[in-house]
Amino acid sequence: MTSPSERAEALLALHHRSTPVVLPTVWDAWSAQAAVSGGFEALTVGSHPVANSVGAGDGEDMSLEDALAGIARVTRAVDVPVSADLESGYDTAAAELVERVLDAGAVGVNIEDTVHSQGRLRGAQEHADYIADIRRAADTAGVHLVINGRTDVFKTEEDIPDRLAEAITRLTLLEAAGADSLYPVGVPDVATLEALLAAVSTPLNVTAHPVNGAIPEGLDLARLTELGVRRVSFGPLLQAALADHVAEITAAWR
* Cα 246 to Cα 254: distance, rounded to the nearest angstrom: 12
Which pLDDT does position 1 carry in this prediction? 57
Is the per-residue pLDDT at 85 higher than 60? yes
AA identity, residue 227: L
* Cα 127 to Cα 124: distance, rounded to the nearest angstrom: 5
CB 204 within 8 A of CB 229: yes
CB 170 within 8 A of CB 153: yes
Which pLDDT does position 148 carry in this prediction? 98
Q: What share of the chain is helix, strand, coil (3-state, %, to 5)?
A: 50, 15, 35
Task: For residue 236, name the pLDDT band (cuts at 50, 70, 90).
Answer: confident
Q: Which H or E element spans position 146?
A: strand 146-151
Per-residue pLDDT of 154-171, as tens digits, reads 999 999 999 999 999 999
CB 132 within 8 A of CB 177: yes
* Cα 128 to Cα 146: distance, rounded to the nearest angstrom: 15
Is the per-residue pLDDT at 2 higher than 90? no
4-253: CATH topology is TIM Barrel (3.20.20)
Which pLDDT does position 135 carry in this prediction? 98
CB 29 within 8 A of CB 243: no
- Mean pLDDT over all residues of the chain? 94
Which pLDDT does position 211 carry in this prediction? 63
- Mean pLDDT (whole number) for 140-165: 97
Per-residue pLDDT of 86-109, as tens digits, reads 999 999 999 999 999 999 999 999
Which pLDDT does position 69 carry in this prediction? 97
Is the per-residue pLDDT at 217 higher than 80? no
